Amino acid sequence: MGCLRFTPIVVLQLTLCSVLQGAKWKYSGPEGEHHWSKHYPYCGGAFQSPIDIKSELLRFDPTLRPIEVQNYNLSLNEQLTLGNNGHSLQISLPSKMHISSLRHRYNAAQLHFHWGSSGRPAGSEHTVNSKQYAAEMHVVHYNSDKYANISMAVDKSDGLAVLGVLIEIGEFNPAFEQFLKFINGVKYRDQKVQVSGFNIRTLLPARLDEYYRYDGSLTTPPCYPSVLWTVFRNPVAISQKQFFSFATALYSSYAQDSATALLHSNYRKPQPADSRVVLVSFKEGRGLYGTHTVTSPFTRKRIIQQLLVGDLADLADEGLYQLLPSGSQKLHADERNELKDMQNLAKPKQQLLNPSLWKKSQTNRYVGKLALAEDTLCYGSLKQRVSHQLRHSHAENELVQALRDAVFPELNLKSYLDCKSDLALPTIRHILRGRPTDEAFELDRSLTKALMNQRKTSAAVKQNGPVTKYGGLSPATAPRKPLSKDYPHPWLLPMEWED
Ligand SMILES: *[C@@H]1O[C@H](CO)[C@@H](O)[C@H](O)[C@H]1NC(C)=O
Ligand SMILES: *[C@@H]1O[C@H](CO)[C@@H](O)[C@H](O)[C@H]1NC(C)=O
Ligand SMILES: [Zn+2]
């Protein structure tokens, strides 16, 4: 609205925006996923989903509680809308259905599916150590503590929580039949039918306590990084025949279109990790990552505090590891206590990451520049602001890059404090902007040097997956242990709470 009083250039921008809002997108061809960012710049940005959930990203988190869902057992009288939106098969869900075990209450909005094709039954979005499952279900919820409905929540950094269920081919699944039996009623795009309510819980795997957790995005345009992801460890099975109904019954084209196009292979490919890690609620033996636990929120906060108000010149002179008073391998007494609390009580992290601590500390005047735990990024208005700043530029990629640069440090810091990312260099630089220039420069120099050493050290370590400049200080590429004394910056690596 306020935009209307600006110059014709802005009017042009608005026109452009309205064109962009309705832009078409597909899973292949000239409107396929590699071109999404042209019209939906966040698709080329940070913290995208899905990801390949690979062992080296996993960190065991003893505080992850079993997922608890409420009112999932819908009565027969409840009418649900089953629809084909041209991209997926979707079922609307009543908002009384919700997740009650997360930091906020998240009400359900809809569930939908991604699947492969009849010739290639591999269409899950998340993959586990590169293994792609036949299909995947997403149960989409919005943060109803903070937002009135899903449209208000979708472009907020704390807006959505999605439950992801991997689907493999196996036994016939009677729960899926509750809606698959109506699939021929929605063969074409925008067709809808009403179906009776059923127990939605039966679509989920039996165990809701074993899952992967990470910070990510919508896997379709506009790709906002607004999703708290939970992907259950155990897949559910559907029969070959049931899989074929997904793969062969639906069209992405309208009923009246002369050329029909089957709706299949509607999945996005895995996206870069962007310094994120994947928390796991379960401990798998004493093997691969069983002992590789996350650095405590306390330590993380202390590290950020050091960057915000610590003596940077000293830090740069004396070596970065001085940031941690007693080195990275020794546990501080209060961390031990904290760990005990977390394990015994499995408290929500909210209580440990109490934002009021920030308010009390002298760091507050710097913190104001950054959206910390309690604040929210709004991607819609950020895009408008950044587009406006770039209005004289015509390079397509510039908006994508500018938005990425704007959201990455915020998302990384928030995610880092919440134990779901490692701290990345662009974030550290972002924090240092609030500091005296020469000191910040010194520290930045030491940091860059330390990083280069780390890269050399890790060159020998097997590395797969895309690496971006935001990959930053991922310990996934660094030797796990031991962290030797001469290691350049142990405080940047995750510590273990136990051994
Ligand atoms: C779901 O609700 C129906 C009644 O609507 C009831 O008969 C059934 O036992 C319930 N199932 C579960 C698992 O609670
Ligand atoms: C969502 O809530 C906002 C704010 O209350 C309201 O303006 C909007 O119309 C609602 N949208 C839908 C689709 O209900
Ligand atoms: Zn989805």
Peptide bond into 490 cis (omega under 30): no
Closest C-alpha to 499, from 292, 337, 287:
292
pTM (2 d.p.) = 0.80
Highest mean pLDDT, choosing among 242-246, 448-452, 455-459: 242-246
What pLDDT shows up at residue 393? 65
Return d(Cα 477, Cα 493) in angstroms, integer.
Answer: 11
Q: What is the pLDDT of residues 213-224, one digit of tens each?
A: 999 999 999 999
AA identity, residue 93: L
Q: How far is the CA of 268 from the centre of ligand 3 (A)?
A: 9
Q: How far is the CA of 105 from the centre of ligand 2 (A)?
A: 18
Token pair recorded at residue 312: 């940077």
CATH code that applies to domain 29-280 = 3.10.200.10
Tell me which of 97, 199, 203 to substitute to probe ligand 1's pocket, judged by most ligand atoms within 8 Å of the beta carbon: 199
Nearest CA to ligand 2 atom 13: 151
Q: Are 257 and 231 in contact (CB under 8 A)?
A: no
Tell me which of 107, 150, 151, 378 to substitute to probe ligand 2's pocket, judged by most ligand atoms within 8 Å of the beta carbon: 151
Return d(Cα 95, Cα 76) in angstroms, integer.
Answer: 17
The finding on whether 73 has its CB within 6 A of some atom of ligand 1 is yes
| Model confidence band, residue 343 (pLDDT cutoffs 50, 70, 90) | very low
| Model confidence band, residue 390 (pLDDT cutoffs 50, 70, 90) | confident
**Residue range 465-480: average pLDDT?**
39
Q: How far is the CA of 196 from the centre of ligand 3 (A)?
A: 22
Neighbour-count burial of 480, counting CB atoms closer than 10 A to its CB (0-12 exposed, 13-18 middle, 19+ buried): middle
What pLDDT shows up at residue 17? 37
Token pair recorded at residue 66: 């079993």
Q: Compute and round to an integer the Cα radius of gyration of the chain.
A: 24
Alpha-carbon torsion, ordered 144, 150, 153, 157, to 10 deg: 100
* Beta-ladder partners of 83: 90, 192
Q: How far is the CA of 100 from the centre of ligand 2 (A)?
A: 23
Q: How far is the CA of 150 from the centre of ligand 2 (A)?
A: 8
**Is residue 127's pLDDT more than 50?**
yes
What pLDDT shows up at residue 489? 33
Residue numbers annotated as active site: 87
The finding on whether 75 has its CB within 6 A of some atom of ligand 1 is yes
What pLDDT shows up at residue 463? 39
| Model confidence band, residue 298 (pLDDT cutoffs 50, 70, 90) | confident
Token pair recorded at residue 211: 């899952």
The finding on whether 199 has its CB within 6 A of some atom of ligand 1 is yes
Nearest CA to ligand 1 atom 4: 75
Return d(Cα 125, Cα 135) in angstroms, integer.
Answer: 8
| Model confidence band, residue 199 (pLDDT cutoffs 50, 70, 90) | very high
What pLDDT shows up at residue 293? 62
The finding on whether 196 has its CB within 6 A of some atom of ligand 1 is no
Token pair recorded at residue 398: 């510039």
**Is residue 405's pLDDT more than 50?**
yes
Nearest CA to ligand 1 atom 2: 73
Domain parsing of the chain, residue ranges: 29-280, 297-492
Nearest CA to ligand 2 atom 1: 149
Nearest atom in ligand 1 to the alpha carbon of residue 73 is 1
Nearest atom in ligand 1 to the alpha carbon of residue 201 is 13
**Is residue 231's pLDDT more than 90?**
yes
> Phi, psi (5° rounding) for residue 52?
-85, 115
| Model confidence band, residue 338 (pLDDT cutoffs 50, 70, 90) | very low
**Is residue 129's pLDDT more than 80?**
yes
Ligand nearest, relative to CA of residue 135 = 3
What pLDDT shows up at residue 454? 57
Q: How far is the CA of 140 from the centre of ligand 3 (A)?
A: 8
| Model confidence band, residue 424 (pLDDT cutoffs 50, 70, 90) | confident
Ligand nearest, relative to CA of residue 125 = 3
Return d(Cα 477, Cα 473) in angstroms, integer.
Answer: 8
What pLDDT shows up at residue 469? 53
Nearest CA to ligand 1 atom 1: 73
Mean residue pLDDT of the chain comes to 78
Pocket of ligand 2 (CB under 6 A): 148-149, 151-152
Of 137-141, 173-177, 360-364, 468-472, the range with the lowest mean pLDDT is 360-364
Of 138-142, 163-167, 467-471, the range with the lowest mean pLDDT is 467-471
Give the up-direction half-sphere exposure of residue 65: CA atoms within 13 A in the CB hemisphere.
15
Task: Report the share of the chain in percent with pLDDT over 90.
Answer: 56
Ligand nearest, relative to CA of residue 115 = 3
**Residue range 315-332: average pLDDT?**
42
Secondary structure of the chain in HEC code, one letter for each residue? CHHHHCCHHHHHHHHHHHHHHCCCCCCCHHHCHHHHHHHCHHHHCCCCCCCEECHHHEEECCCCCCCCEECCECCCCCEEEEEECCCCEEEECCCCCEECCCCCCEEEEEEEEEECCCCCCCCCCCEECCEECCEEEEEEEEECCCCCCHHHHCCECCCEEEEEEEEEECCCCHHHHHHHCCHHHHCCCCCEEEEECCEHHHHCCCCCCCEEEEEECCCCCCCCCCEEEEEECCCEEECHHHHHHHHHHCECCCCCCCCCCECCCCCCCCCCCCCECEEECCCCCCCCCCCCECCCHHHHHHHHHHHHHCCHHHHHHHCHHHHCCCCCCCCCHHHHHHHHHHHHHCCCHHHCCCHHHHHHCCCHHHHCCCCCCCCCCEHHHHHHHHHHHCCCCCCHHHHHHHHHHHHHHHHHHHHHHCCCECCCHHHHHHHHCCCCHHHHHHHHHHHHHHHHHHHHHHHCCCCCCCCCCCCCCCHHHCCCCCCCCCCCCHHHCCCCCCC
The finding on whether 18 has its CB within 6 A of some atom of ligand 1 is no
What pLDDT shows up at residue 347? 33
Neighbour-count burial of 102, counting CB atoms closer than 10 A to its CB (0-12 exposed, 13-18 middle, 19+ buried): buried
Angle (CA) 393 397 401, round 5°: 100
